Structure 1
Amino acid sequence: MHSATLAINETLEARRAAGQKVLHLGFGEAGLPVPDSVAAVLAGAAGRNSYGPVVGSPAAREAAAGWFSRRGAKTGPEQVLFAPGSKPLLFALLLALPGDVVLPCPSWVSYAAQASLAAKRTIDVPIPAESGGVPDPRLLEQALGDAQATGARPGILVLTVPDNPTGTVARVEHVREVCAIAEKWGLVVIADEIYADLVHDGRAPRATDFLPERTVVTTGLSKSMALGGWRIGMARVPHGAWGRSLLNDLVGVASEIWSSLAAPMQAVACHVLQDPPELMRHVDRSRRLHAAVAQAAHAEFVAAGAVCRRPEAGFYLYPDFAPLRPVLAGQGIDGGAALAEALLERHGVGVLAGEAFGDAEDGLRMRVATSLLYGETAAERRQALECDDPVSLPWVASSLERLRGALHGLARQG
């Protein structure tokens, strides 16, 4: 089945190509221009057309080790594996690790799909009310017991901190509690930290702080550096014999699927992962931009009557239109898919229904990505990145006004 996020992006781009005006809130692309220094590194590495080591070049692994270490997870180069994006690494981990997969619900669309491809069952556990990305600790152990009683073999717990789809950061006590449960049940934690550099205020808690010997971290440059199309991902395995054994298994999978990260992209990784000051400033500006626009969009959803957690990282919202259920039912809207269809067909607003993330079909929830509101051209996006008040820019303000009209149009009909 086609990934829901990729499918909505292709659908909306096709509508644009056909001359339709759409408000693209369905795809988690960071929506920012490539910094000049990064583009120059790629251009300079264009002649590197040889295969390299499966794990990545020594220089790239050294840079990644320093990058992880500066973020509080002391790391050696021998713990790092590169790949063309973090998504292949996640799949390789599901192939290499034993047991079924425990997921917070809702969670990113590809986790369950990859588990199915790997012939593993998924065990969904609702997220806490405060934030997403981790299962509710109060429900996790009971869910594990129930799943085991029906023949499941829980073996892997996936955490997304910060979270996609809710745009929130898990509370430190929740991460600590679920890691303690994972240790008790002998689970391996896969910590997807792709948004860790985009926390709007402060830093995200890390599973490696609580279960260092059984936590594998995946991340990459697609979100913090807006290099999604360049496909640069990396994983960090734990210190020690178990981590070395897992890395060996991952290399076995990688060598048969992607061989190695493209050599020019490894040159980019070497540059970016050293945290040069101009790129740190770039990430700081992008973090500020993501926060400002996501918070402005959040205000529009709340004003229209939806319930929505405040955005805390990245560029996502996860509004719930349950308070408007009677009004929406009068329009034949009885679930997330119908709500998303109504927004697209009536108002040209593209979002993803919550059921794509494992949510209930009758839930009136959706994931909203605000990162493609920064401009239609590279010049507009660069101006948004450099602006102290990006919400006041005419093209951003116009998009938010269109969103406001669509939301209030739904709320008024019936």
Structure 2
Amino acid sequence: MEHRLNSRVKDIEISGIRKFFNLVGAQKDMISLTIGQPDFHTPSHIKQAGIQAIEQNETVYTPNAGLPELKKAAAAFYEKKYAVQYDEASEVIVTVGASQAIDIALRTILEPGDEVILPGPVYPGYEPIIHLCEAKPVMVDTTANAFRMTAALIEEQLTAKTKVIILPYPSNPTGVSLSEQELKDIADLAKKHSLFILADEIYSEIVFERAHTSIASFLQEQTIVINGLSKSHAMTGWRIGLLFAPKAIAQHMLKVHQYNVSCATSISQKAAIAALTDGIDDALVMREEYKKRRDATYAALQKAGLHTVNPDGAFYFFVKVPDAYNGSSFDFCLTLAKEYKVAVVPGSAFSSAGEGWFRLSYACTIEEIKEGLSRIEAFIKTF
């Protein structure tokens, strides 16, 4: 019966990140610098809130958009952190992770034939949804511009069919963020052409040299903000995402959300309230540790003679495969894993713009980072 399935689903590839991790992750003595997951535990006070929710039998459906107390905390969080105000009752939706928020946002906006502009290289979670909506992803190659997607680069790709600009900053896989002026220029362009902006800000609390700026502060009426607690509060398994949008947009996204999952897990929502209130600054300690790791990783990459852009957010480096290597980024990473026991992700997993690069995650100990980079250096000395 496979021949009767949706052809667009059959054409979708499994994430290159997971595919490569599954290929090499089980090998003995492997140093894994692959998965983008915090190596910190969820803070204790958040876990206790979840335990208390279970013990008090708070294990039932919640309102579709989420618990009112959680939506209030989420709106307060964005106002305090990024000076953007949202109405808690009508402009906040609690989702099953940021991934589900991306899904319902794009399915609400897109129609067959629409075009969506993305920066390349880019996290692979957007393109499949765009294809399922029968829309077309349009990749802006940012490799020659230090991984920064600017208004000028976007404008080159605009057509009458362009409907959405996806803006994932700080970026996975590059760790690069954008300046206030760059964001304002993109907002001005989107306003001029009546385009939606889908701002994936899941790494907003992991920005090192300056505070995160949300593009919603420049064009809130056309911006859908995606965030969540996976990275900021080390809550990947709790699956709590947050979607912020103007009421006129959010009310339609809520319909898609309602028929998709009904609501996010009640227990996780209770824990999320603790995260966004008492734990509003939980990310600060993690951020400082990530910064130390970033600095150590950058020093090791420079010592090895590897080209990269020093990131100002998230916990990744996107590194150029040396020109002396005669092969694809996948082959480079596979050989590195098999012969030197270090796992990184081929750049090709992040669109065709990522070919010739690899992603290195420093969401691990400094000791693992140093040993992993030492092995990478030994490998590149062989060619």
- With normalisation by structure 1, the TM-score equals 0.84
Cα drift, residue 313 of structure 1: 1.2
Cα drift, residue 411 of structure 1: 2.0
2:358 counterpart residue number:
366
2:220 counterpart residue number:
212
1:247 counterpart residue number:
250
Cα drift, residue 180 of structure 1: 1.4
1:138 to 152, 162, 166: 152
Within 2, Cα distance between the matches of 1:343 and 1:311?
23
Are positions 1:403 and 2:341 aligned together?
no
1:85 to 81, 94, 97: 97
For 2:349, the aligned partner's letter is A
1:341 to 334, 347, 358: 334
Q: Please state whether the residue corresponding to 1:109 is helix, strand or coil.
A: coil
What does 1:282-321 align with in structure 2 at a 5 Å threshold? 282-321=282-321
The number of aligned residues is 364
User: Structure 2 stretches of 5 or more lacking a match?
Assistant: 1-12
Alpha-carbon spacing, 1:105–1:360, altered in 2? closer, same or farther (3 Å): closer
Q: Please state whether the residue corresponding to 1:211 is helix, strand or coil.
A: helix
Whether the aligned pair in 2 keeps the contact of 1:60 and 1:267 (CA below 8 Å) is: yes
Give the number of the structure whose residues are more often helix, by fraction: 1
1:271 counterpart residue number:
274
Alpha-carbon spacing, 1:281–1:103, altered in 2? closer, same or farther (3 Å): closer
1:262 counterpart residue number:
265
1:350 counterpart residue number:
343
Within 1, Cα distance between the matches of 2:77 and 2:280?
12
For 2:132, the aligned partner's letter is L
Within 1, Cα distance between the matches of 2:104 and 2:67?
19
Cα drift, residue 129 of structure 1: 5.2
For 2:361, the aligned partner's letter is A
1:2 to 14, 18, 25: 14
Within 1, Cα distance between the matches of 2:353 and 2:250?
36
| Higher RCO (Cα < 8 Å, 6 or more apart) | 2
Q: Please state whether the residue corresponding to 2:295 is helix, strand or coil.
A: helix
Whether the aligned pair in 2 keeps the contact of 1:128 and 1:135 (CA below 8 Å) is: no
Are positions 1:58 and 2:51 aligned together?
no
Within 2, Cα distance between the matches of 1:309 and 1:91?
30
Are positions 1:202 and 2:210 aligned together?
yes
Cα drift, residue 128 of structure 1: 7.0
Cα drift, residue 45 of structure 1: 0.6
User: Structure 1 stretches of 5 or more lacking a match?
Assistant: 239-243, 375-395
Of residues 213-222 and 161-170 in structure 1, the stretch that sits farther from structure 2 once superposed is 161-170
Cα drift, residue 338 of structure 1: 1.6
Within 2, Cα distance between the matches of 1:109 and 1:27?
13
Q: Percent identity?
A: 22
Within 1, Cα distance between the matches of 2:121 and 2:298?
19
Whether the aligned pair in 2 keeps the contact of 1:130 and 1:309 (CA below 8 Å) is: no
Q: Please state whether the residue corresponding to 2:227 is helix, strand or coil.
A: strand
Whether the aligned pair in 2 keeps the contact of 1:100 and 1:155 (CA below 8 Å) is: yes
Cα drift, residue 12 of structure 1: 4.4
Whether the aligned pair in 2 keeps the contact of 1:131 and 1:166 (CA below 8 Å) is: no
Within 2, Cα distance between the matches of 1:10 and 1:128?
27
Are positions 1:107 and 2:122 aligned together?
yes
Within 1, Cα distance between the matches of 2:357 and 2:369?
19
What does 1:118-137 align with in structure 2 at a 5 Å threshold? 118-127=133-142, 131-132=146-147, 135-137=149-151
Cα drift, residue 117 of structure 1: 2.1
Cα drift, residue 354 of structure 1: 1.3
Cα drift, residue 319 of structure 1: 1.0
Structure 1, residues 77-122: CA drift from partner, whole Å, max 9, x if none?
0210001101011011111003321101111111112212222100
1:325 counterpart residue number:
323
Whether the aligned pair in 2 keeps the contact of 1:200 and 1:313 (CA below 8 Å) is: yes
Within 2, Cα distance between the matches of 1:284 and 1:109?
28
